[in-house]
Amino acid sequence: MDLQILSELSNDASISVPRLSKKINVNSSVVYSRIKRLVKKKLIERFTIIVNDSELGYSVKALTGINMDIKKRDHIIEELFKIDGVREVAEVTGRFDILVTMYSRSLDQMHKMVSEQIGRIAGIQSSESFIEMKSRMKAMPYMPSKDSD
């Protein structure tokens, strides 16, 4: 039942408890107490929305891989978050030290972010940017598929 609740809430976090209880055919009070328990156990961290960035004018998304002087790691991450449009900084394994997710209103603005702002941060040794052309997303499968054993 918890997996059903997680699955439904991940599809629509604004669904009311009565509507959710009807959908999964479980009493409302049980669904409410299960949700409270899932929050308490930290299986649900928060209820949120997904903002349509392109409708707000942020139509260009890029991932920038950065190699850096590890001794300046904290300073670099701090400086990256000062840049408007930087949404996420992830420390990763592989050929880059960090991946930065950024949004801008135009390719020209993205170019300026990468060359004039990121490129001037002390300790960054190199970077490579990947402009997102098209994206598709799949919801996490909290419910076991009917095909699995």
CATH number of residue 18's parent domain: 1.10.10.10
The pLDDT score that the predictor gives to residue 145 is 54
Chain position carrying tokens 């997904």: 50
Residue count (the chain): 149
Residue 139 maps to a domain:
no
pLDDT 10s digits, 39-65:
999 999 999 888 888 899 999 999 999
Instruction: Please check whether residues 58 and 126 belong to one and the same domain.
Output: yes
CATH label of the domain that carries residue 75: 3.30.70.920
Instruction: Please check whether residues 81 and 23 belong to one and the same domain.
Output: no
Instruction: Please check whether residues 63 and 34 belong to one and the same domain.
Output: no
What is the average pLDDT across 83-110? 97
Q: Containing domain of residue 28, as a range?
A: 2-40
Instruction: Please check whether residues 21 and 80 belong to one and the same domain.
Output: no
Instruction: Specify the number of domains making up the chain.
Output: 2
pLDDT 10s digits, 110-137:
999 999 999 999 999 999 999 999 988 8
Residue 140 maps to a domain:
no
Instruction: Please check whether residues 29 and 62 belong to one and the same domain.
Output: no
**What is the distance between the alpha carbons of residues 130 and 63, in angstroms, rounded to a whole number?**
5
Instruction: Please check whether residues 83 and 107 belong to one and the same domain.
Output: yes
Residue 144 maps to a domain:
no
Residue 34 maps to a domain:
yes
Instruction: Please check whether residues 65 and 86 belong to one and the same domain.
Output: yes
Residue 142 maps to a domain:
no
Kindly tell me if the per-residue pLDDT of 144 is higher than 70: no
Instruction: Please check whether residues 74 and 122 belong to one and the same domain.
Output: yes
The pLDDT score that the predictor gives to residue 148 is 44
How would DSSP label each residue in the chain? -HHHHHHHHHH-TT--HHHHHHHHT--HHHHHHHHHHHHHTTSS--------GGGGT--EEEEEEEEE-GGGHHHHHHHHHTSTTEEEEEE-SSS-SEEEEEEESSHHHHHHIIIIIGGGSTTEEEEEEEE-----------SPPTT--
pLDDT band, residue 143 (cuts 50/70/90) = low
Instruction: Please check whether residues 125 and 78 belong to one and the same domain.
Output: yes
pTM of the model: 0.76
Instruction: Please check whether residues 35 and 57 belong to one and the same domain.
Output: no
Instruction: Please check whether residues 121 and 84 belong to one and the same domain.
Output: yes
